[in-house]
Amino acid sequence: QSVLTQPPSASGTPGQRVTISCSGSSSNIGSNTVNWYQQFPGTAPKLLIYSNNQRPSGVPDRFSGSKSGTSASLAISGLQSEDEADYYCATWSDSLNGWVFGGGTKLTVL
């Protein structure tokens, strides 16, 4: 059972906008910034969003992040087939004194 809660799956058709939620508590998301990672099968995760809503260079602006209270969201607009991957949220937990990850969301492009 992960400290951060994500839906196990999400789906959309090409061109659609999809959002993935990440729910936490006051000791993690509520008091720290959130990162999002993208992982393709058999490969290492890649940083997609940092500090709630910042994109590293090279990440398309179709990807955006937001945070409100103890929850965060990743939005993907103009969905493309190559976006099919697993997505993880993560943040620091003050109570656990360590990083915590969501359980991951498998995104399927129909």
Partner 1 sequence: EVQLVESGGGLIQPGGSLRLSCAASGFTFRSYLMHWVRQAPGKGLEWVSRIISDGSSATYADSVKGRFTISRDNAKNTLYLQMDSLRAEDTAVYYCTRGGGHSDWGQGTLVTVSS
Give the footprint of partner 1 on this chain (CB under 8 A): 2, 35, 37, 43-47, 50-51, 56, 88, 90, 96-104
Q: How far is the CB of 6 from partner 1 (least distance, A)?
A: 9
Contact status, residue 91 vs residue 34, Cβ threshold 8 Å: yes
Nearer to partner 1, 34 or 76 (CB): 34
**Secondary structure string (H, E, C) spanning 17-58:** CEEEEEECCCCCHHHCCCEEEEECCCCCCEEEEECCCECCCC
Nearer to partner 1, 85 or 100 (CB): 100
Q: How far is the CB of 101 from partner 1 (least distance, A)?
A: 4
Q: How far is the CB of 56 from partner 1 (least distance, A)?
A: 7
- Give per-residue burial for 24-45: e unless 16+ CB within 10 Å, then b: bbebbbeebbbbbbbbeeeeeb
102 membership: H or E segment, kind and range = none
Nearer to partner 1, 11 or 51 (CB): 51
Q: How far is the CB of 14 from partner 1 (least distance, A)?
A: 27
